[in-house]
Amino acid sequence: MRMTVIGTGYLGAVHAAAMAELGHDVLGIDADVAKIEALAAGRAPFFEPGLPELLIRNVEAGRLTFSTSLKEAADFADIHFICVGTPQKPGSHAADMVFVDAVATGLAQYLTRPCLIVGKSTVPVGTAARLADLIADIAPIGVQAKVAWNPEFLREGFAVEDTLRPDRIVAGTSSAEADEIIRAVYAPILATGIPYITTDAATAELVKVSANAFLATKISFINAIAEVCDAAGADILTLADALGHDVRIGRKFLSPGLGFGGGCLGKDIRAFQARADELGVGKALSFLDDIDEINTNGRLRVVELARTMLDGSLAGKRVTVLGAAFKPNSDDVRDSPSLAVAHRLHEEGAIVTVHDPEAVANAQRAYPQLGFSTNLDVAFDGAELTLHLTEWDDYRQLDPRSVLDRVANPLLIDARHTLNPGLWRDVGWTVRAMGRPGLASVPAAAMSSAL
């Protein structure tokens, strides 16, 4: 089948490459010329495991091409996926729909044949219906330009896997014809038995934001309990493991730590609340404000712990931050919890050096006032406190003895609970972790099975 994918960020670039991998002829569209040039040359414009291989294979096979022209998109195919971003609107909690609307209106003017526009971006409920009217008004083909919603649930770092082997595919459309087209697009995936849920567009839009709200709630829940563990002398990691054995609860997304960040969960729960307010049911989702606040407070609690460990003042203290990306296996620093902490430490006078295996360039652009190092050993030089804030495997593999001579003080905060405190303590480090007040007395052998 022929199709276009409009917007080639983390979602669209992977979707375009994955659709080509399924055998479709795909034209990827983006307004960013540099991004399109990189993709057309088979280069991923961001770090995403598995994407470079997928791009090269499909660009070379001629199934995947790129352009900046919406006119070309309209000429190329009659199925158009919209994958542009819906960031938080400046000065508001609502989603900023400027990119989605610009693509819809920009494309509509060239639509002269019956076609299907399939939105994948995370949007406020009601968007598909609104866009259908907008497009019908502008498009020469009128109402024969149909709109459906097919939300995407991919996680950065596992985007290729999640796109080609998703947990489910949700198609929101009231048109049997549109439903058939979407089924045909995903036919090779559906043939493996992946659940396919057809529903109306509003339900499909809500599935996505509800999923993200639920995931954010799970994370903030366990982090709230971690705070109670600190006060009560209990251990959050053991507690999370014990909870997770209950299949009704499950261990996934119950990892305590520095909380959620990235381009989705935070802005999506805010936009969901804002949309519920507009619909007159804001009270039903008011708990999402607490979820957000617990998450933000978690970052402040790490700064407080750092201050306590440095005898009450951060001013002039050299601190090393391990991790800049919002999560491992990504170079995405949008709303990165680790950089928020690093920035706060800097504001309070600390001399901060941030290390990350992949995200230093992006982090440096966002926070030029911080110090950075791409050399893990050098990053430790002179540190009076080390904070482990993004759980890259590189840090778990690190021999704590090898950097002991480099630091000024062997003090460590493991805010992600993925380092083995026993290993670090055994060679002389003092290790602290939120929600684990008894850490000093926990033998290495008793480490969580989740590690």
Find, among 14, 43, 18, 13, the residue nearest to 29 by Cα.
13
* 145-149: strand order across its sheet: 64-67, 25-29, 2-6, 79-82, 115-119, 145-149, 169-172, 196-199
Residues 6 or more apart from 267 whose CB is under 8 A from it? 86, 87, 88, 95, 335
Give Rg (Cα) of the chain. Answer: 24
Residue labelled with tokens 């007159």: 280
Shortest CB 312 distance to ligand UDX, Å = 28
Provide, rounded to whole angstroms, the least separation between the CB of residue 249 and ligand UDX.
12
Q: Does 357 bind ligand UDX (CB under 6 A)?
A: no
Q: Are strands 115-119 and 79-82 parallel, antiparallel or unpaired?
A: parallel
Torsion, CA 298, CA 304, CA 306, CA 310, rounded to 10: -170
Tokens of 104: 């819809």
CB of 22 to ligand UDX, least distance (A): 20
String of b and e for 201-226 (b: at least 16 CB within 10 Å)? bbebbbbbbebbbebbbbbbbbbbbb
84, 204, 207, 264: which one binds ligand UDX (CB under 6 A): 264
**Candidates 124-132, 197-205, 247-255, 353-361 — which segment interacts with ligand UDX by CB under 6 A?**
247-255
66/99 with CB nearer ligand UDX: 99
Residue 326 lies near ligand UDX (rule: CB under 6 A): yes
Binding of ligand UDX at residue 327 (CB under 6 A)? yes
Binding status of residue 260 toward ligand UDX by CB under 6 A: yes
Using CA atoms, how far apart are residues 182 and 270, in angstroms rounded to an integer?
30
Residue ranges in 138-167 that form contacts with ligand UDX under rule CB under 6 A:
152-156
Q: What are phi and psi of 391, to 5 degrees?
A: -85, 60
Q: Does 254 interact with ligand UDX (rule: CB under 6 A)?
A: yes
Distance, CA of 332 to CA of 56 (rounded, Å): 22
261 binding ligand UDX? (CB under 6 A) = yes
Q: Which range touches ligand UDX (CB under 6 A), out of 181-189, 225-233, 260-268, 375-383?
A: 260-268
Told to check if 376 binds ligand UDX by CB under 6 A, we report no
Considering beta carbons, is residue 335 or 384 the nearer one to ligand UDX? 335
Q: Whole-number minimum distance, CB 156 to ligand UDX, in Å?
A: 4
Complex with ligand UDX: residue 168 or 401, whichever CB lies closer: 168
Identify which of 170, 97, 111, 161 has the alpha carbon closest to the alpha carbon of residue 140: 111
State the minimum distance, in angstroms, from the CB of residue 227 to ligand UDX: 14
Provide the annotated active-site residues. Answer: 264
Per CB under 6 A, which region of 211-219, 231-239, 302-310, 379-387 contacts ligand UDX? 211-219
C-alpha–C-alpha distance, residues 13 and 38, integer Å: 11
**Chosen residue from 136, 253, 394, 450 binding ligand UDX by CB under 6 A:** 253
Contact residue for ligand UDX among 83, 209, 265, 274 (CB under 6 A): 265
| HSE-CB of 321 using CA atoms within 13 angstroms | 33
Is residue 389 within 8 Å of 415, Cβ to Cβ? yes
* 206 touches ligand UDX (CB under 6 A): no
Those residues with Cβ within 8 angstroms of residue 41's Cβ, 6 or more apart along the chain or in another chain: 59
- CB under 6 A: which stretch of 259-267, 379-387, 395-403, 425-433 binds ligand UDX? 259-267
Residues 11-50, mask of contacts with ligand UDX (x by CB under 6 A): ----------------------------------------
Residue 221 touching ligand UDX (CB under 6 A)? no
* Cross-strand pairs, 80: 4, 117
257 scored as a contact of ligand UDX (CB under 6 A): yes
Q: How far is the CB of 257 from ligand UDX (least distance, A)?
A: 5
Q: State the residues that interact with ligand UDX by CB under 6 A.
A: 152-156, 212, 215, 219, 253-255, 257, 259-262, 264-265, 326-327
